[in-house]
Amino acid sequence: MIKFIKRNFQPFTKNPTDLLVHLFSPKFRASFTQAKKITQEVKERNEIEDLNLIREIHCAYSSSILLASFLNSGERIKVYSGHDSVTFGQAFNVDVLAESWGDHFIRGFARKTEVDSTNEQGNFCVERRIFGSGEPFVSARELGDFNKGLFDEDVQQYCDSSEQIPSKVYISGKNFEDKSGNYSTLGLLIQILPGTEKEYIDEIYEKISQKSFFKEIHNTDIDEKSIKKLFEDVNDDITYSTKEFTFKCDCTKELVQKFLESMDKDSLIKLKQDPYQLINCSFCNNPYEFSRDEIDSFIADDLIDLSVRRK
């Protein structure tokens, strides 16, 4: 997907990373992340100021990272939410996409577009592309509250119905950003392993969430040490590991050029007349600049192709 945008040319060069702490025992497995830096990157790339949408972005990206932590290397998972909302009497369409791919990369976008009217519905979709499988596994459902957008309750319902593994999902997002722009965040996903009673997961979550330290780590950067402190009195043989997820896209100017070369002559001529020849990747919003001479060459190629076909 490619979109056109008019703005000053400023390619994004940052590739922020957020830590994921993964742990497992004979009875359960769990992952923790904060996704603060990645949420901030998506906010800046898409010029988002709406705090409700920023919270929804955080929920989508946290859940994508958490779900990806249970996949094998090379598998992909997409989390998408789409709905309408009304702000100060103006109707908007909201779309958020987060895709974890490769072994530790994530990319995506967030959009809030003015519309004339709203549909009183919202959709939430998780697409899993499993290694060696030709078609992705897609689970789609309605959002619990289309006005609010994606919440961890929606991700919980997905895990309950589609993962079919007793799970506990928690993604903070209430009072999401303070006046300084800092985020108070934490996301976790706990799943029991075969042979364990499903009530065990509630016991584990209750035990760690009641600790005062559980609230404290929302406001500090997590690491393996802090997560170990949460589980220090859990009587289980737990193994810990860490991984960094990086906001990064595999788009290139060459891929965008192929899209331009596939466009018809009239569209290329119209694009050439615009003072801005910027085309943004919709997966990461990175802008690619094309000169008028480059666009002329695509038009010439199109004309040559037409003349060949006429013969």
- Last residue within a domain, chosen from 228, 247, 266: 247
Q: Is residue 3 part of a domain?
A: no
Check whether residue 104 and residue 235 sit in a common domain: yes
Q: Report the pLDDT value the prediction gives residue 275, as an integer from 0 to 100.
A: 59
Q: What are the pLDDT digits (tens) for 66-114?
A: 999 998 777 899 999 999 988 778 889 999 999 998 779 999 999 998 8
| CATH classification at residue 151 | 3.55.30.10
Check whether residue 153 and residue 231 sit in a common domain: yes
Check whether residue 72 and residue 208 sit in a common domain: yes
Check whether residue 104 and residue 189 sit in a common domain: yes
Check whether residue 110 and residue 157 sit in a common domain: yes
Contacts of residue 51, defined as CB under 8 A and 6 or more positions apart, other chains included, come to: 176, 177
Check whether residue 240 and residue 273 sit in a common domain: no
C-alpha to C-alpha distance for 108 and 245, rounded to whole angstroms: 13
> Domain range for residue 77?
12-247
**SS3 category, 7:** coil
The yes-or-no verdict on residue 3 having pLDDT over 60 is: no
The DSSP H or E segment spanning 305 is helix 292-310
Find where tokens 């706990």 sit.
190
Count structural domains, the chain: 2
Check whether residue 236 and residue 290 sit in a common domain: no
The yes-or-no verdict on residue 302 having pLDDT over 70 is: no
Q: Is residue 115 part of a domain?
A: yes
Q: Is residue 4 part of a domain?
A: no
Check whether residue 111 and residue 49 sit in a common domain: yes
Q: What is the mean pLDDT of the chain?
A: 85
Q: What is the CA radius of gyration of the chain?
A: 22
Check whether residue 271 and residue 133 sit in a common domain: no
Check whether residue 60 and residue 187 sit in a common domain: yes
| CATH classification at residue 265 | 3.90.1280.10
Q: What are the pLDDT digits (tens) for 263-272?
A: 888 877 877 7
> Closest Cα partner for 56 from 69, 71, 39, 68?
39
Amino acid at 291: S
